[in-house]
Amino acid sequence: MASDKVELNPVYLKEETKQKVRKSFLHSAQSDLPAVLLKDFFTKNFYEELQKKVSSLHFTKDTVVLHHSYQISKFTISSPEFCEFLSFVTKKKIEKVNLSAYLLTWKDYQILNDQYLEKSGIDIAIDLTDGWNPEWGGIVTYTDGKGTVYPLVPTGNSLALIERKRNLHKYIQYANHYGKDKKRMLLVATV
Amino acid sequence: MALNNWFDPEYLTEKSVKKLQAAFAGNRPFPHLELAHFLKGEKIVELLKTLGEQEFSPHRSDLFQFAQTSDLLYTDDPVLKEFISVLSSQELLGFMKKITNLKLNGKIDLFASIYQDTDYLLPHDDQVPGRKIAFMFYLNGLEENDGGTLALYGPKNKNADKIAKRFIPKAGTLIFFEVSGLSIHTVEEVLTDTQRITLSGWFYG
């Protein structure tokens, strides 16, 4: 499924905001976790529409026990407004974004495994879950492999941009039984 | 070092060892054994008492969440030192070698772990150079609805995503298995307000 029309929160369309976000993202390159988290990224109406679209995708269970267990599908965003925003902030030419849609429930996880190392790049993570308690697990987490971890705080209607350098790897914390009646939906891509 | 002081002597007879040898090799999805009541009741009490004085640190990564002691080989505690001497003794190594038909060099690792509500160990195979046998002594028992079971996965390329066998922790039980590319296992999440207490480690060769 694809979305060629996206409504960003008008705040993020202001030149001043875009400049600030770009500066913040590019300056973060020197920090341990080069990243920005943009809250209330879409308009409320579009966010709800996006949640509906993604939750209606056909998800398939994908399990490789030594690496991951989750339900996954695909979703593409080709909206010029969205791509222009990302291109501006990241200074990379982005014309469309092919995202993996993740549906996490109890017992799902993704662990680090040398056989499944991802190429470095800029991760785009759109959080489509409201009211997810971090204590339930299921958190996208970055690690430098030396014991320092950087969990992405679960925030509905947020967009996170993370420059995943060679020494930075991501995993998904095991989703525990306290969230067993809940579902966590995420869109993730690397550009 | 008298194994009889620590372990059920019925397991240690020649006749029993022969039976265990056949069972170990024949057990699927990969060679393993579960020896119920192997550790004597009074030793469980002694070990639990002494572990109550040890420091357990929270361990958390992409793969696990539980609390664990540091490597107990360096402990000054007399009970744990004796237990380690027993595990490293020629008598016990001989017992394990006969059952598993694996060459062991006497080196072991030993840790105590406590799993509580939501703690887990995700699937992995334990392979590290030199590790031959993984073992765990359960120091307390859990019910099925508590979680915390040791689960063994089916063979690779066949049912690698399916759990083939589960073991509910029972006080005094010893479980061990041969470490190999096949030995994919997990400790399933603890689901209740309980503790799963084990002494576990590896025999090297």
Distance CA A90, CA A19 (A): 11
Chain-chain contact of B184 with A64 (C-beta, under 8 angstroms): no
3-state DSSP of A13-24? HCHHHHHHHHHH
Q: What is the average pLDDT across B149-160?
A: 80
Question: How many structural domains is chain A composed of?
Answer: 1
Residue B115's pLDDT is what? 98
Residue A86 reports pLDDT greater than 80: yes
Cβ atoms of A122 and A29 within 8 Å: the answer is no
Q: Residues near A30 by Cβ (< 8 Å), separated by ≥ 6?
A: none
Q: What is the average pLDDT across B44-61?
A: 96
Chain B residue at shortest CA distance from A146 = B61
Looking at per-residue confidence, does B145 or A167 come out higher? B145
Q: What is the average pLDDT across B123-143?
A: 97
Residue B22 reports pLDDT greater than 70: yes
Least confident of A150-154, A158-162, B95-99, B136-140: A150-154
pLDDT band at B188 (very low <50, low <70, confident <90, very high): very high
Q: Which residues of B touch A145 (CB under 8 A)?
A: none
Q: Is A117 on the interface with B (CB under 8 A)?
A: no
Cα distances (angstroms) measured from residue A58 to each of A17, A54, A103, B100, B104: 36, 9, 10, 47, 51
Q: Burial of B50 by CB count in 10 Å (0-12 exposed, 13-18 middle, 19+ buried)?
A: middle
Instruction: Give the domain range for residue A161.
Output: 2-190
Residue A146's pLDDT is what? 80
Q: Is A177 on the interface with B (CB under 8 A)?
A: yes
Indicate the helix (H) or strand (E) that contains A74: strand A68-77
- Read off the tokens for B142: 């859990």
Chain-chain contact of B62 with A110 (C-beta, under 8 angstroms): yes
Half-sphere exposure of A129 (CA within 13 A, CB side): 24
Chain-chain contact of B125 with A66 (C-beta, under 8 angstroms): yes
Q: Residues near B15 by Cβ (< 8 Å), separated by ≥ 6?
A: none
Residue B150's pLDDT is what? 98
Share of chain A above pLDDT 70, in %: 99
Q: Which of A64, A143, A174 sits opposite B120 (nearest CB)?
A: A174
Chain-chain contact of B122 with A63 (C-beta, under 8 angstroms): no
- Read off the tokens for A147: 């014991």
Q: Is A148 on the interface with B (CB under 8 A)?
A: no
pLDDT tens across B80-122, in order?
A: 999 999 999 999 999 999 999 999 999 999 999 999 999 999 9
With 0.90 as the threshold, say if the pTM is over it.
Answer: yes
Residue A6's pLDDT is what? 83
pLDDT tens across A19-46, in order?
A: 999 999 988 877 778 899 999 999 999 9
Distance CA B175, CA B37 (A): 11
Residue B171 reports pLDDT greater than 90: yes
Q: Burial of B148 by CB count in 10 Å (0-12 exposed, 13-18 middle, 19+ buried)?
A: buried
Residue A88 reports pLDDT greater than 80: yes
Residue A4's pLDDT is what? 72
pLDDT tens across A95-153, in order?
A: 999 999 999 999 999 999 988 888 899 999 999 999 999 999 999 999 987 878 899 98
Looking at per-residue confidence, does B157 or B61 come out higher? B61
Residue with the two structure tokens 């046998």: B133
Q: Which of B65, B118, B184 sits opposite A66 (nearest CB)?
A: B184
The H-assigned helical ranges of chain B are 14-26, 41-51, 78-88, 90-100
3-state secondary structure of A78: coil
Chain-chain contact of B184 with A143 (C-beta, under 8 angstroms): no
Q: Is A26 on the interface with B (CB under 8 A)?
A: no
Residue B32 reports pLDDT greater than 70: yes
Residue B1 reports pLDDT greater than 60: no
Chain A residue at shortest CA distance from B65 = A174
Q: Which of B125, B161, B186 sits opposite A63 (nearest CB)?
A: B161
**Termini Cα distance of chain A:** 19
Residue contacts between A and B (CB atoms, under 8 Å): 38
Residue A172's pLDDT is what? 97
- Read off the tokens for B49: 């008492």
Chain-chain contact of A171 with B184 (C-beta, under 8 angstroms): no
Residue A66's pLDDT is what? 93
Closest CA–CA distance from residue A95 to any residue of chain B (Å)? 33
Cα distances (angstroms) measured from residue B10 to each of A158, B136, B139, B172: 63, 19, 20, 14
Q: What is the average pLDDT across A166-189?
A: 94
Q: Is A64 on the interface with B (CB under 8 A)?
A: yes
Chain-chain contact of A66 with B123 (C-beta, under 8 angstroms): yes
Q: Is A180 on the interface with B (CB under 8 A)?
A: no
CATH number (domain holding residue A59): 2.60.120.620
| Neighbour-count burial for A103-131, b at 16+ CB within 10 Å, e otherwise | bbbbbbbbbebeeeeeeeebbbbbbbbee
- Read off the tokens for B95: 């017992």
Residue B159 reports pLDDT greater than 70: no
Which of A44, A130, A50 has the alpha carbon at shortest distance from A97?
Answer: A50
- Read off the tokens for B38: 């192997």
Which of A123, A108, A6, A106 has the alpha carbon at shortest distance from A54?
Answer: A6
Q: How many CB atoms lie within 10 A of CB A95?
A: 10
Q: What is the average pLDDT across A147-171?
A: 91
